[in-house]
Amino acid sequence: MYDVEKFTFNKDKCWFRNNCSMYNTGDCNCACKIYFQYYYLVNLANIPQNKQQPEELILQAGDDRKKYEYLSKVKDNINEFVKEGCNLYLYSPYYGNGKTTWAIKLMSKYFSNIWPGNGTRCRGLFINVDEFLMKKRAAIKTPDPRLEEIEKLIPTVDLVIWDDIGVTRLKEYDHQILFSLINPRIANNKANIFTSNVIDDDLDDNIGGRLANRILDTSVIVEFKNKPQRKPKEII
């Protein structure tokens, strides 16, 4: 669980700073409910510290522009996406072209919409699949309370990001663990966002055909085709 005692206020790292009328005024302080509740949700979700701030995306020409436009519409309607238990599969054979950033943008938008009245409930989780499975194996010998907490939350939270799913070939034991966690969410109309650099046969080989088919059959697949580029053309 996120330690409230470690919470610190930093107005220059506020997700809402570009749109908030109180930003950089006398009212911009640690008493801000939006700031506190939003970052509480973000930390409960296990989003890595280096990915918690708004990140600019490079909008490129070509096919990916349409994908960005589609995801922007999903973001604008993220409450409906979650309520209806929708799934997204963000795929590209290349690293660094926005898959994880888009997934976190969508989750962050949902948090910014639902923070009023949320209290201390966890509403979403960010799970790096390989890291999660590594900790799961380690916990056989050494119990991991945080991991146990996350496992208990997975079936019930509104939205889960499964980051880098299928990027390495897993053993049958890992296939079974993932299936036992992901399949019930899909069956119970709980929303998921998957990011990966593999698809189809490669995904079958790496996580098992049964789970791969379940994911791909129930997800809108968004493929980014452009390679990452060093110099931005247009920032969104």
Do residues 122 and 157 lie in contact, with contact meaning Cβ atoms separated by under 8 Å?
yes
Q: What is the mean pLDDT of residues 110-114?
A: 90
45 versus 97: which is more confidently predicted?
A: 45
- Distance between CA atoms of 125 and 121, rounded to whole angstroms? 12
Domain range annotation of the chain: 32-223
Mean pLDDT, rounded, for 108-119: 85
Topology of 32-223 in CATH?
Answer: Rossmann fold (3.40.50)
Q: Residues 138-195: pLDDT tens digits?
A: 998 999 999 999 999 999 999 999 999 999 999 999 999 999 999 999 999 999 999 9
Predicted local distance difference test score (pLDDT) of residue 17: 63
Mean pLDDT of the chain: 85
What pLDDT, on a 0 to 100 scale, did the predictor assign at position 92? 94
CB within 8 A of 196, min separation 6: which ones? 89, 90, 91, 99, 164, 165, 166, 167, 203
With H, G, I as helix, E, B as strand and everything else as coil, classify residue 178.
helix
Coil/strand/helix, residue 89: strand
Predicted confidence band at 214 (pLDDT cuts at 50, 70, 90)? Answer: very high
Segment 199-206 mean pLDDT: 95
pTM of the model: 0.86
Q: Residue 11: its pLDDT value, please?
A: 66
Largest pairwise CA distance in the chain:
57
212, 204 contact by CB (below 8 A)? yes
pLDDT for the residue 30: 64
- DSSP assignment string, 117-163: T-TT---EEEEEHHHHHHHHHHTTTS--HHHHHHHHHTTTSSEEEEE
- Per residue in 7-26, pLDDT tens? 566 666 666 665 666 666 77
Amino acid 115: pLDDT: 81
Question: Could you report how far apart the first and last alpha carbons of the chain are, in Å?
Answer: 33
pLDDT tens readout for residues 116-143? 777 788 999 999 999 999 999 999 899 9
In the predicted structure, residue 6 carries a pLDDT above the cut 60: no
Residue indicated by tokens 């918690």: 52
pLDDT of 1:
44
